[in-house]
A and B are shown apart, each in its own frame.
Chain A
């Protein structure tokens, strides 16, 4: 009579034994299981070279990962944002009519968290926006900043109750308009770059948008990646905010039915 519990214990024991044995085997090896071949990847050298140098071919972004994500392989990121947008649209389409039932949730927390939130949420907002705008100088960028900003609205909904937030602070219409502005902004920058590259001369140089008159430390400010990051902040923050509000209300309704 082998019950289910003892079968699980046997499987777990076997797994532990396999892990211990393979650890002992591996510790006696002197080579890496998957060899790290980064010295042989020439493409990485090109990314490092062309991202920040004072000579003629450069993107003026010191953060190389963000340069790859937005400038060298910008098309991937545009479509990844579209995937995120699709998931938000799907979740909203299923639970849209529940937003009108938000007036049921009126539970708000006491005075102490609300007062502390007045300071901490402002600080979090600042950190999020700065993280997004400085995406070209240090690791960060639009998505990370947007996730932080959207957590603010979630915290507001917990502190002040969802019905208060939806009726006074933040409107569903405003969030949709903000999200559309963000997405259309990203697509319009991409379209401008496409058209500018093909039509304007010189044709063979990579094109990105600069403000030639705004020069800091000898480098023109790369306005394309800053605008990309700001629009991505708008898209992600409003998308997550819509999602949080919808899920709170939907979960409330599902658990009470």
Chain B
């Protein structure tokens, strides 16, 4: 009983704790300038959140429960409820793990930034926003959270405000983001005038998911369903989601934005912020997919997703091989990997979803590790051009080996867990008889392998036409070593223990595609709270 009370407090306060810290940082800056204090605030906030999320995930996974908390006990369509099930806690666990590792790295990185406290502030707001989005079950709350995440992401990209390029990249990102979130607001309007409710579970019931729920759960509207409005709303929401995750036609902001951000921010933006779109699509598509009313429409949308993700994969692989800027190579590889994730999602089976989620986990770990190690190179040799950085890898063997392991993990070489996600994707496509998509997995891996290996090769081999002047070896300080070591250990540990975690991946996939327990838990809370 005490556990349930503490769990509810935990999930309600987890998104609010980083925000409180982000308010304290500028306030304390007025009184003191000691860097140690701000480092302690950042690390302690992120670690408290990590502990809370891990504790919640232990309960959700091992005791198979869904934790629901409705704010101030107002019943669901009227109030906002946080519903934490396996999908939410899986994405939140990835988020806080990457965040704690990147925070350790940021302690070293912020030595070179004059206004580092502002960086910490925006990082913490970003964390609070994404956590709030993963926990909520209300469509308008998702809109507000997307705005919080977006604005803090734009500030992170434009952090170096003396460079014109980062300002332009951030402005492009911000203009597009503001336009797309206005479309999301239009979608909320269409849903409100046709269905009258904004709770995700309630939407799913009203769209015909559970015929035996109507009348006994949530408030009932007296209207008949108007398909046109719901279709428009669904299309607008999915379009915004494709923008957030940078799938092919809406990806043009990503290479500039993720390469101009400071390296720890790039790691976070590429690792976890693109997962926001993945989460929103899994939630909405699978809650609405089983409804009898929207069958044909959802099928068309899913086919579109499939085509766009295949184009994303090949476009990302192609552009990765011709770029000269090291961070842009990694940014295009983000587009490639998100293409894989969406390809798995567009299958519609639980195996596809669990393969996509595992691939997203791998991409987060590998991309964070790659950006962090590249950040050390860039910070020390003051250049991002791949031709200028030729041959520096030979002097810094440890750092280059971290980078090489993370890139091999992204390609998918066996003892790292990157291999298993591609294997799962391949199996899921073969199981659903989508042989063309299975071929795309293999071809995409081959195409991207050239891009990754080219990066390592340029770093390792001395330049052919030119003189290798003597570079000095980088002294790796402790935070950098710790963060890169933790990430590499995770890659190998998860890979070697794959048969134990595959069970959890499968159960998460099944949970995500069959939302009956989600709706059930919200309905029982509604019956408790409704007078």
> Which B residues touch A34, using CB under 8 A?
193
Q: Does A118 contact B (CB under 8 A)?
A: no
Give the secondary structure class of A's interface.
helix
Q: Which of A18-26, A87-95, A103-111, A133-141 contacts B (4 or more CB under 8 A)?
A: A87-95
Report the bound CA distance from A82 to B127 in whole Å.
13
Q: How many A-B residue pairs have CB under 8 A?
A: 138
The interface centre, meaning the residue of A82, A184, A187 with most chain B CB atoms within 10 A of its CB, is A82
| Nearest opposing residue in chain B for A86, CB measure | B151
Q: Does A213 contact B (CB under 8 A)?
A: no
Q: Does B110 contact A (CB under 8 A)?
A: no
Query: Given B26, B196, B197, which contacts A89 in the complex, CB threshold below 8 Å?
Result: B26
Report the bound CA distance from A83 to B144 in whole Å.
9
Evaluate contact between B155 and A40: CB separation under 8 angstroms. no
Report the bound CA distance from A132 to B260 in whole Å.
42
Known pairs A89-B118, A176-B27, A198-B5; A72 contacts B69 (CB<8 A):
no
Within 8 A of B (CB), among A72-129: 72-76, 79-80, 82-83, 85-87, 89-90, 93-94, 96
| Nearest opposing residue in chain A for B155, CB measure | A90
Evaluate contact between B155 and A86: CB separation under 8 angstroms. yes
Evaluate contact between A183 and B528: CB separation under 8 angstroms. no
Q: Which of B37-45, B76-84, B305-313 contacts A (4 or more CB under 8 A)?
A: B76-84
Q: Does A2 contact B (CB under 8 A)?
A: no
Report the bound CA distance from A124 to B402 in whole Å.
62
> Which B residues touch A39, using CB under 8 A?
222
Evaluate contact between B80 and A197: CB separation under 8 angstroms. no
Evaluate contact between A194 and B148: CB separation under 8 angstroms. no
Known pairs A37-B193, A43-B196; A198 contacts B8 (CB<8 A):
yes
Minimal beta-carbon separation of B9 from chain A (angstroms): 5
Evaluate contact between A180 and B141: CB separation under 8 angstroms. no
| Nearest opposing residue in chain B for A40, CB measure | B223
Evaluate contact between A76 and B144: CB separation under 8 angstroms. yes
Evaluate contact between B155 and A205: CB separation under 8 angstroms. no
Evaluate contact between B73 and A86: CB separation under 8 angstroms. no
Minimal beta-carbon separation of A224 from chain B (angstroms): 9
Evaluate contact between B141 and A194: CB separation under 8 angstroms. no
Q: Does B147 contact A (CB under 8 A)?
A: yes
| Nearest opposing residue in chain B for A80, CB measure | B144
| Nearest opposing residue in chain B for A172, CB measure | B30
Q: Which of B13-21, B374-382, B511-519 contacts A (4 or more CB under 8 A)?
A: B13-21
Evaluate contact between B221 and A180: CB separation under 8 angstroms. no
Query: Given B13, B26, B27, B192, which contacts A194 in the complex, CB threshold below 8 Å?
Result: B13
Evaluate contact between B78 and A47: CB separation under 8 angstroms. yes
Known pairs A37-B193, A187-B19, A204-B528; A76 contacts B155 (CB<8 A):
no
Residues of B in contact (CB 8 Å), total 54
> Which A residues touch B140, using CB under 8 A?
73, 76
| Nearest opposing residue in chain A for B77, CB measure | A43
Q: Does A16 contact B (CB under 8 A)?
A: no
Known pairs A37-B223, A42-B222, A83-B148; A187 contacts B16 (CB<8 A):
yes
Evaluate contact between A41 and B30: CB separation under 8 angstroms. no
The interface centre, meaning the residue of B20, B71, B115, B147 with most chain A CB atoms within 10 A of its CB, is B71
Report the bound CA distance from A120 to B98 in whole Å.
54
Q: Does B161 contact A (CB under 8 A)?
A: yes
Q: Does A206 contact B (CB under 8 A)?
A: yes
| Nearest opposing residue in chain A for B162, CB measure | A94
> Which A residues touch B132, using CB under 8 A?
75, 79
Q: Does B407 contact A (CB under 8 A)?
A: no
Chain A 48-72, CB-CB to B under 8 Å as 1, else 0, gives 0010000001000000000000011
Within 8 A of A (CB), among B67-97: 69, 71-74, 77-80
> Which A residues touch B48, using CB under 8 A?
none
Known pairs A79-B148, A206-B72; A40 contacts B27 (CB<8 A):
no
Q: Does A246 contact B (CB under 8 A)?
A: no
Q: Does B531 contact A (CB under 8 A)?
A: yes
Report the bound CA distance from A43 to B198 in whole Å.
10
Residue numbers of A with Cβ under 8 A of B are 34, 37, 39-43, 46-47, 50, 57, 71-76, 79-80, 82-83, 85-87, 89-90, 93-94, 96, 173, 176-177, 180, 183-184, 187, 190-191, 193-195, 197-199, 203-208
Given contacts A75-B71, A86-B122, A93-B161, 9 further A-B contacts (CB under 8 A): A43-B77, A79-B148, A82-B148, A93-B118, A180-B26, A191-B16, A193-B72, A194-B9, A195-B9
Q: Which 3 A-B pairs have the closest CB atoms?
A: A40-B223, A180-B27, A41-B196
